[in-house]
């Protein structure tokens, strides 16, 4: 069992791009989403995963992640996951010893850009890059599982 401690932020400028890795396209859908957990299928690059997360939309959640064959993920997304799927390009930015993941959403969530940082402790402090905007960790609208049901374009 794993614990994920993740904080989410909006982006206020594009200056992060000059330090970003090459982006990886992701597509993901949800097999289940209820009051206890979400079960997600995600494809990114040449990898695919089945992911289970506790349903709490907080900074700390229980998470399990399992590699699955890419072909299985394609079939699960096509036949079992309701649309719209989450489509995004993920970039990695290193800043002051921390790894940031920047998700540039496409499809139904086009126009939304979110920065995420995973921490070791819920109270861990970290330096904030100048491109970092408002924190949205406690706003459920910004969680992928919610974006799949209520896309950004409909806000």
Which residue numbers are catalytic?
A: 30
Contact indicator for 108, 84 with CB cutoff of 8 Å = yes
DSSP 8-state assignment for residue 14? G
User: Which SS3 state, helix, strand or coil, does residue 19 take?
Assistant: helix
Region label for 111, one of left (φ > 0), alpha (ψ between -120 and 50) or beta (otherwise): left
Residues in contact with 38: Cβ distance below 8 Å, sequence separation at least 6, in sequence order: 30, 32, 52, 53, 55, 145
- The secondary structure of 71-83, three-state, reads HHHHHHHHHCCCC
């Amino acid at each position: 069992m794993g614990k994920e401690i993740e904080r989410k932020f909006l982006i206020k400028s594009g200056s992060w791009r000059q330090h970003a890795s090459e982006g990886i396209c992701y597509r993901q859908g949800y097999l289940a989403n209820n009051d206890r957990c979400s079960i997600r299928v995600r494809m990114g690059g040449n990898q695919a995963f089945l992911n289970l997360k506790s349903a709490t939309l907080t900074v700390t959640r229980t998470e399990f992640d399992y590699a699955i064959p890419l072909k299985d993920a394609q079939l699960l997304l096509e036949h079992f996951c309701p649309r719209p799927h989450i489509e995004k390009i993920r970039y990695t930015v290193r800043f002051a010893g921390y790894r940031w993941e920047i998700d540039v959403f496409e499809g139904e969530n086009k126009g939304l850009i979110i920065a995420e940082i995973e921490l070791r402790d819920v109270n861990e402090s970290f330096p904030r890059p100048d491109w970092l905007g408002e924190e949205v960790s406690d706003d459920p609208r910004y969680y992928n599982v919610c974006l799949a049901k209520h896309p950004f374009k409909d806000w």
